[in-house]
Structure 1
Amino acid sequence: MQVSTVFPVGEPPRDSTSFTTPTVKLLTRVEQLRLLTKAEKAGLLSAAEKFGLSLSIIEKLGLLSKAEEFGVLSAATDPGTPSALLSLSLGLLVFGPICVYLVPEEYPWEVALQAVVALACVVGGSAALAASNFVSNLQKSN
């Protein structure tokens, strides 16, 4: 008995293995990149404890479950996240100068609006670019 596969007209044959992406093992990558060691050496863990944020507080507040509820942890393993963050960063970094160019400067509130929007776009665009790079590095396999 011969098994045949039917493909819709105009679509090339699909290889079932080409659509599967390897799963990202987030904690394994954190360990491989030695992120906790780097955070410790940079003094980030001590600074967090000074501000009252320790692992026991994180556990009591349920911050990890809240992060998962909002999709933050799932986004870190989603292959589309780095490109989405990169697109967001480019959009923000383009929108800031466009806003400064298009908003007139007749009144002081318009100049203040230009400054606030430009600052928000630069900070947000830079943060999104850094997050894109960080998530991309987390998702890379050896």
Structure 2
Amino acid sequence: MNYRKATEKDLTAIVKMMADDVLGKKKEKFQSPLPIEYVKAFQNINEDKNQELIVLENEKLEVIGTLQISYIQYISYLGGMRAQIENVFIRADQRGLGIGKKVFKWAINRAKEKNAHLVQLTSNKERPRSIKFYENLGFKATHEGMKLHF
């Protein structure tokens, strides 16, 4: 497996994986051509040195997974940096093969390379299997998160 920075050519595969998800079906719009909002978001992410949109390829160079790591600089912890892992998706036909665990090990090592002192993530409470997966990787629910949608 190969991890690399996503290119705009990968965007269709990324959005397809996001839309091919129980919760993603409710909020993503996979169509051809893709809505321009996805392209604009990709461009913003790609230009931001604190963002890494990553794809995972198999031996046939097919995109089979994706994740985004955001590096957040803050004053606390002596000016520490944390890595936020979001939007982890594995292609439907590749789920259940242990790829997700490999993706997280890679992402944690990548965060360490960037000198982050912790890795954090959020998970929808409607995903109890995902939450158990993260707990098995060593993540702990230490804070209560809140959101305000507009």
TM exceeding 0.5: no
More strand by share: 2
Computing the radius of gyration over CA atoms, which structure comes out larger, 1 or 2? Answer: 1
TM-score (norm. length: structure 2): 0.25
Higher relative contact order (CA 8 A, sep 6+): 1
More helix by share: 1
TM-score (norm. length: structure 1): 0.26
